[in-house]
């Protein structure tokens, strides 16, 4: 689970230096098989994995450095990744961090990346509200609004989701039901674990980049 790949450190953006990110990609490419989240979901559904040492790379929020820095490196190492975007952030309706160095992707950049077979986009709500702290109606609106916006822009189905913050206390009890009802295949949390059963796909665990090396 990554967020920003940036020379400038920012705690809120959970930023990682580009040289260190490239070191991660080099390490992962040499010690693991980097697969897409959709591939991982298929293995979880089957109950076994035919790939040795699989790992999935994801990004949350949708910072512009995902395009400017991370995307060229992902292409250099030929590894796939999923980017979960906050659609209101991309539309500049919300500001996630009060620092111009951590601005959002724009739709042109998203469309360019989406055309590359290595990149898959998922939703991360419309405004990054913590779902456990808002009403059921707002939870539905955050999820559905972001899906509609992203699908309209990309002109294809979007069925991957990541919870804002993503700890157990941040996840609304209703969220999983709304996701299932609206065609999502999974939802990623930030709870740290690396094995999953199929019925756990609405709270897929991830590990932060600090634990890779």
- Predicted confidence (pLDDT) per residue in 65-115, tens digit: 999 999 999 999 999 999 999 999 999 999 999 999 999 999 999 999 999
What pLDDT is recorded for position 213?
46
Q: At what angle do helices 136-154 and 107-114 cross, to 10 degrees?
A: 70
Whether this model's pTM surpasses 0.85: yes
What pLDDT is recorded for position 210?
57
What pLDDT is recorded for position 191?
76
The 3-state DSSP class for residue 82 equals strand
Residue 66 and residue 71: Cα distance in Å, rounded?
6
Contact by Cβ (8 Å): 60, 124? yes
What pLDDT is recorded for position 211?
45
Contact by Cβ (8 Å): 179, 131? no
What pLDDT is recorded for position 190?
82
The 3-state DSSP class for residue 63 equals strand
Per-residue 3-state assignment (H helix, E strand, C coil) for 28-54? HHHHCEECCHHHHHHHHHHCCCCCCCE
* Angle, CA of 180, 182 and 185, to the nearest 5°: 50
Q: Which residues of the chain fall below pLDDT 70?
A: 166, 193-199, 209-213
């Amino acid at each position: 689970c990554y967020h920003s790949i940036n020379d400038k450190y920012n705690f809120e953006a959970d930023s990682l230096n580009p040289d260190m990110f490239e070191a991660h990609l080099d390490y992962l490419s040499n010690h693991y098989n980097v697969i897409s989240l959709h591939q991982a979901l298929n293995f979880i559904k089957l109950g076994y994995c035919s790939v040795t040492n699989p790992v999935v790379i994801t990004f949350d929020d949708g910072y512009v450095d995902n395009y400017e820095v991370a995307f060229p490196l992902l292409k250099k190492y030929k590894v796939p990744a999923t980017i979960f975007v906050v659609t209101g952030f991309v539309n500049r309706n919300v500001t996630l961090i009060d620092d111009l160095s951590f601005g959002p992707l724009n739709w042109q950049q998203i469309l360019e990346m989406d055309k590359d077979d290595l990149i898959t986009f998922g939703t991360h709500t419309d405004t990054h509200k913590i779902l456990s702290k808002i009403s059921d109606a707002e939870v539905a609106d955050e999820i559905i609004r972001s899906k509609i916006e992203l699908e309209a822009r990309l002109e294809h189905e979007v069925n991957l989701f990541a919870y804002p913050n993503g700890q157990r206390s941040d996840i609304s009890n209703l969220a999983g039901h709304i996701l299932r009802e609206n065609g999502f295949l999974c939802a990623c949390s930030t709870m740290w674990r690396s094995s999953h059963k199929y019925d756990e796909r609405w709270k897929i665990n991830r590990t932060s980049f600090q634990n890779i090396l």
